[in-house]
Homo-oligomer: A and B are copies of this chain.
Amino acid sequence: MRGATRRRVTAADVAREAGVSQATVSYVLNDTPGQTIPERTRERVRSAMERLGYTPHAAARALRTGRSDVVLFVVPDWPLGPSLDTIIERLSDGFEDRGLSLLTRRVRASRPLAELWRTVSPAAVVTLEGLDAAEVRAMEDAGVPVISAAVRERRSGDGVLATSQLLVGALQLQHLAATGHVRTGYASPGDPRVAVFRDPRLDGARSAAFELGLPDPSDRVVPPDVDAAARAALAWRAEGVTAVCAYNDEVAFALLAGMRAAGLRAPDDLAVIGVDDIPLAPFASPPLTTVSTDVEALAAYLATAVLRRIEGRPLPAAPRSEAITLVVRASA
């Protein structure tokens, strides 16, 4: 039986079975507007489809319409952590019932995308970073809506959601200030690729410090290594720093571990505040105080934005700024 490769069931087969023309099948399949097909016929066609186990062929449809049922999600190369999963999951969920599939593609940052989207002819393109303007124009010209959650900075214009990383950093520092800290540190991740996120976060912390009349946060790299983290912690202590904003929760975990190794305790010797509120954050020792960026909201926004643009409807109003929440636990 191997390789018997039964021919696939086509719309023509359904038509024959239902005793109608193949065009009619297409009409009832797509509820083509402007076609008046009596319920009787529709029913006949539908049951024929059912009986034969008909499934429309995506490729044929795509060839004909010039648009596939795929939404291309271009993900930059940087380590993004668990938030990415949330986004992907929410997007897929949102698309499933509309018959759209999410094609996720990690791409080395700012590599030309032309080949990718031209071959796939996606229904839309979603990205996290701000894409090259010329490239966006090319896609839009070709009729491919581009929805981008620019993380870098606020930009006006269609399809751009401003996720203010500045606010994240500011909120961290404000919390530290509110709990009485004056000299602060900023724990940057080892991986340089995340600079796109780190820079604005650090800037946010910086300006918050400035506005509060506090000294500039002292920036140090905290790599995912206990010893190195310990050294960083000690160095901060030596310069009188009493609290540090970590780039994200993973960096915070590393720092906490380093402090433990160095005999330092949080929050008394050094307070630590993270970003993301990852699932393990409550289980840190001590439980991690962090800033939650509500990726769910971001994902939800992206999903509806995509759907709206595919349907040619106007974009929903972007959430004023992401719902950024302080989650206070014990570490700061």
Contacts and interface: CB of A to CB of B under 8 A. Distances in A.
Given A5-B143, A8-B118, 11 more contacts: A53-B114, A55-B114, A57-B121, A58-B119, A59-B68, A69-B119, A89-B106, A92-B106, A250-B280, A253-B280, A256-B283
7 contacts: A1-B141, A58-B68, A59-B121, A84-B85, A102-B104, A224-B282, A257-B282
A69 to B, nearest CB: 8
Contacts of A63: 57, 59-60, 63
Contacts of A119: 55-58, 69
A268 interface: no
Given A226-B282, A254-B283, A283-B256, A6 B142 contact: yes
A327 interface: no
Interface in A106-152: 106, 114-115, 118-121, 140-143
B115 A55 contact: yes
A121 to B, nearest CB: 6
Interface residues of A, number: 57
A4 interface: yes
B283 A118 contact: no
Interface in A64-113: 66, 68-70, 82, 84-85, 88-89, 92, 101-106
Given A92-B106, A101-B105, A118 B285 contact: no
A235 to B, nearest CB: 19
Please list the 7 inter-chain residue pairs (A to B) with the smallest Cβ-Cβ separation, ordered nearest first: A59-B62, A257-B283, A55-B118, A285-B285, A253-B283, A59-B63, A58-B119
A8 B57 contact: no
A59 to B, nearest CB: 4
Nearest to A117: B55
Contacts of A92: 104-106
Contacts of A253: 280, 283
Interface in A3-47: 3-6, 8
A106 B257 CA distance: 35
Nearest to A9: B118
Contacts of A282: 224, 226, 257
Contacts of A89: 106
A287 interface: yes
Nearest to A120: B58
A173 B289 CA distance: 35
A180 interface: no
A120 B85 CA distance: 23
A263 interface: no
A126 B273 CA distance: 40
A214 to B, nearest CB: 29
